[in-house]
Structure 1
Amino acid sequence: MSKSGHSNVQDVVVVGGGPSGRIAAIGLARLGLSVTLVAPVSDPPDGRTTALWQQSISFLEKIGVWSDLSQSTAPLAKMRMVDATGGLIRAPEVVFDSSDLELSEFGFNILNDKLNKTLEEKCGSEKTLTTIPEQAVSIETSPDHIQVKTTSGVSIRARLAVAADGRKSMVRDAAGIDVKTWTYPQVAVVLNVEHRLPHNSISTEFHTKTGPFTLVPLPGNMSSIVCVETSEGAAGLCAMQPEELERELERRAHSILGSYKLASEVKSFPLSGMNASRLVGERIALIGEAAHVFPPIGAQGLNLSLRDIIDLTAVVEGGRLRNTDPGDRAILQSYENKRTRDIATRTNVVDILNRSLLTPFLPVQAARGLGLYVVDRIAPLKRFLMREGMAPASGFRRPG
C-alpha cells in the first residue's frame, strides 16, 4: 500500500498539497524520515506566479528540486518602486539592485503551475515519502502519536503532523489553535501578459491610491501582473474586453513595457490577513498559510513559508541527531521560538506599507516618502534592507 507502510507509526505526516506541504514533505524525507503526504490533486492552474528569493532557492537546491525548476524561471535583478499615488507628497523612485549585494539577481519568478507539477513529480520519487492523493477529514492526538484519516478511510499514524492545509486548516482547528483575521478593502487582479519591450529582469511596483500595481518578469517578453484595486475597480477590470484591458494595463504601467497582449485568464482575489495565535500544538506544527496570511506585497508569502520549512527541518534534524522524537514538545517549542519574530515582523511591515497607500492623511504620506528618500540616499541602510528582504537577520550572501 505504501513505500514505508501505514501499519506502523510514521515519523511525519504532512497535510496539504500546495507548494509548502510538498516542499516540507520532501525536505523532511531527505533527512531519512518516513513521511506520508496527504495531498489532494492540485487545483487547475490559474496563471499566478511566485517570486523565490535566494534563501528559498538555496533550500530548493539542497533538497534536489531547483535544477528541475530553474529553466522555467525569470531572474529578478532589480526591483523598482514608483510612487503613483498622485498625492501632494510623493516618495522618490527607488531602485534596489542585486549587484549592490554582489549578486546577479535577488531571485527568480516562476509560474505556480510549473512549480506545483515539479514538486508533485519530486514527491513521487522520494524513497521514504508516500503520497496519498486525498483530503484529510479527521485528526486525533495521543501522547505518543497523532492519527490522520482520509476521505477513503485510510488511517496514518505519525509522531509529528505538519499542518500545511491552508488558511482554513483542519489540522490547526483540531489542535485548538485560535487565529486573528482581518480584511482589507481591496481585491488583487492577477494575470500574465506578453509585452513588446523587454523587461530586462526588472520588477516594477507602482504604489497607487488603491494599492500596488506590480509587474514581475517571466521568461521571454512576458510578465505577471498583480493589480490591487477596490472591489468596484477590480470588478471593472475583470469585466473589460481583452483589448480594452490591455490598453488600460499599459496606461497604468505608463507604457514602460510597450503594448500588452493577455497571456492568461484574469483572476481576482479579495485581500485579507491571518495570524495563528500559536505555531504548535500537541505533536503538530503549523507552516505556510495555516500559520500566516497577508497581501501579495514584496513577494513575501511563499518565501516566509519556506523559512518556516527551513527552521522546522533544522530543529527536527537536530533532534534526530540526538535520537529525539520529531513530535517532542521541546522540538516544537524550538521551532515556534525561531519563527515567531520573523512572522510578526513581516506581517506588520506588509500591513503598514499597504495601509499607508490607502490613507489620504498627509503626515502618513510624508513619513512614507521620507522613509523611501532616506533608504535611497543611505547605501548601507539600503543594502541592509535588501538582505533583510531576502533572508531576515541572516546576513545571507550567495555569490552571483
Structure 2
Amino acid sequence: MLDLKFVQKNLDAVSQGLARRCKTEPDVAEFARLDEARIALIREAEALKAERNSGSAEVAKLKRAGQDATELMARMSAMGERVKELDAELAVIEAQERDWLLKVPNIPHESTPDGCTENDNPVLRHWGAKPEFAFAPKEHWELGQALGGLDFERAGKLTGSRFCVSFGWAARLERALGAFMLDCAAENGYTEVIPPYIVNKASMTGTGQLPKFEEDLFKIQGQDYYLIPTAEVPVTNLHAGEVLEEDQLPLGYCALTPCFRSEAGSYGKDTKGLIRQHQFHKVELVRFAHPDTSFEELERLTGHAEMVLQRLGLHYRVIQLCGGDLGFSSCKTYDIEVWLPGQDKYREISSCSNFLDFQARRANIRFKAKGAKKSEFLHTLNGSGLAVGRTLVAVLENGQQADGSVLLPEALRPYMGGVERIGPK
C-alpha cells in the first residue's frame, strides 16, 4: 500500500505511476474528490471546535456576571452535535480513502522499463546453451505419461481438470527437487520454515492478494480462511505487526509448500501438462531488507534462484518486466525463464521482486535503526527458488533421450538414490 500522505501530496506522481503500468484504474480523480471532501470536513469541524472553545469561555464569563447563558449554551450544544456528525462523516471518508489505497498497485521504480505487455520486456542475459537433439523433442506430458509417472486422467477422475497424480519416479523426482532447492537456499543463508497452508484475510491483504485478486483464490466456504496461492503470503506475514531490530536485516526465509490457484482468466491456456495447475509445489524465497539496500538484495535474491538452474545445467534467460507487466505489489521484477525444448520456447520458472515498503505498510512490518527514536517500514522481497513442477518439466524436456528415457542432472542424482536415468518400465 502506498503512503496515504504521499498520495495526498503527490497525486500527479501516482497518476504517472499508473500510466507507466498502462492502467486507468483506480481513478485518481475519485481519490482527489474524496480528499477534498475530507479537507472540507476537517476545516468545518476545526472551525466549530474553535468557536465552541471560545463560547465556553464566554459562558463562564456570563455566569460569573450573573447573566443568562441559556441561549449561548444551546447554540454550543448544537455545535457539539454538528461536530459529532462531521467526525462520523470524516470516518466514512477516511475508510473510503483506505479502500481506494488498497486497490492501488505499487509505483514502478525508475529503473523499470516502460511498456504495456510481455512483448516489451527486455532480455538482460542468458545462461548456458540450448540442448541439441537428433530427434524431434517431446513435451513433458508426453514423456511423463509414456514413462508411467504422470497421470492426468486419474487426477481428472479424482478432482477435475488442471490436476495431476504423480507415481513412482515422478513423485520421487518432485520430492528430490524440493529437497535440492531447500538445500541450495540453506547454503545461501535462508532459514527454512513450514508455515500454515491456510491463512486469514488479514494475511492475504498484507501481501496484496486482497482485495484485488479474490477471484484467483480458493476461499474456504463459511470461514474467513484461504488456501495459500504462494508461500509468500504466510512467510511475509510471519512478522506482521512486529518491529525488528536493524541488525536482524537482511533476514531470509525459505519454504516448500503446496500452492493453490483458481487460474481465473486462464481458460484455454496451458490445458495440457504441469505448467498451469490448480495445485503445485514451490520453494519460495522471502527477504526482509533495510530500505537502503533492498535493490542490492533483489540482485542477490535473483542470483540465488539462478544458482538452482545453473547447478541443474538448465539453459535459461533473465528478463526485466516492464511497467505494464509488473505484479500488483512490485516496483521492480526480474523473471527467470527456462528453455523448454519440447515446447520450443522459454517459460517463466521464477519471478523475483522488490516491493519496497508496499507490503510492509499493509502488514505493518517495521524495523528500528540503532539510536533512532521511531521505527520505520522495512522493505520486502520474494522470488521462486524455484517452482517445483515447472522445474520437473524442464528436467524432463531437456534430459530426454532418443530411446524415450530421461537423463537426470548430476546434482539431482544423490537425491534420487543414485538413479541416473528414468526409463520405461
Q: TM-score band (shorter)?
A: under 0.3
TM-score, structure 1 as length reference: 0.24
TM-score, structure 2 as length reference: 0.23
Point out the structure with the larger strand share. Answer: 1
Larger Rg: 2
Point out the structure with the larger helix share. Answer: 2
